[in-house]
Amino acid sequence: MLEKKYNPLPGFGLTMGYTIFYLSALVLIPIAALFFKTFELSWPEFWKLVTEERAVAAYKLTFGAAGIAAVINAVMGTLLAWVLVRYDFPGKRFIDALVDFPFALPTAVAGLTLANLFAANGWLGKLLVPMGIKGAFTPVAVVIALTFVGLPFAVRTLQPVLQNLERELEEAAATLGSSRLRTFCTILMPTLFPTIVTGFALAFARAVGEYGSIVFVSGNIPFKTEIAPYLIVIRLEQYDYHGATAIAAVLMIISFIILACINWLEVWSSRFNH
């Protein structure tokens, strides 16, 4: 007879019940309330609200900028995590702590800081604007802000995996004459890829819902630099609750589909590597 494994937590029924209650109170009930409000609209009314020209322009900027920022964070976050894990250098702890700065900094403060830096008379703007690079009150500003807020997710997701990665495989490959690039591409990258995808997904999800930092740095120009979350706020200020909930529902559905595809890709790559 197999011995029953000791579990320090209470029984399955109690813990599962609390889990369902907790998730329902924080996630399921608010989402259901949003969709119930949306269901008050007929299909033609809903379609008209979510496909108006201003809303479509906001969707394109929101998801396009979020995707670009997430890709940048996936690449640069991987490089930064690699440097922090594999090398020792003066100021390493400071840089490691600096990665979490976007977590601690209020998003409104981040937006004001970025706007001051990249404005035409800002420290960086003085150098970039003469070169034709406008980093404030343009779509580029949205990408910069989203990259800033999403960087910690890419770095912190990958760091533990790099720390626990066995060095013996790399040493064996080097002993057999494999180059550094080949070792990275054939041995390390297949192992790290699922985690990089996870960091990408987290950074993307964070970027889609970002509001505070973008409001100050983008200029909120309709059809140009206006993101979907800001358009939702505009609709609420106009007491257009149905318009706000309709746009919010579209954001939620598209985000869920994209994240589901990313999660499937992560699971597929994990199975393929094993």
- The CATH code of the domain that includes 97 is 1.10.3720.10
**Separation between Cα atoms, residue 120 and residue 103, nearest integer Å:** 27
Q: What is the pLDDT of residue 235?
A: 93
For residue 17, tell me if it sits in a domain: no
H helices, E strands: number in the chain: 15, 0
- Which residue in 274, 235, 259 sits closest to 49, CA to CA? 235
Overall average pLDDT of the 240-248 stretch: 92
Overall average pLDDT of the 117-122 stretch: 85
Highest mean pLDDT (candidates 65-69, 177-181, 193-197, 260-264): 65-69
Q: What is the pLDDT of residue 33?
A: 87
For residue 25, tell me if it sits in a domain: no
Whether the predicted pLDDT of 1 surpasses 50 = no
**Separation between Cα atoms, residue 72 and residue 107, nearest integer Å:** 19
Which residues constitute the domain of residue 265?
A: 41-273
Res. 110 pLDDT band, cuts 50 70 90? confident
Res. 254 pLDDT band, cuts 50 70 90? confident
* Helix, strand, coil % in the chain, rounded to nearest 5: 75, 0, 25
Whether the predicted pLDDT of 193 surpasses 80 = yes
Q: What is the pLDDT of residue 133?
A: 82
Q: What is the pLDDT of residue 272?
A: 56
Whether the predicted pLDDT of 30 surpasses 60 = yes
**Separation between Cα atoms, residue 58 and residue 214, nearest integer Å:** 13
For residue 147, tell me if it sits in a domain: yes
pTM for the complete prediction? 0.85
Tally of domains within the chain: 1
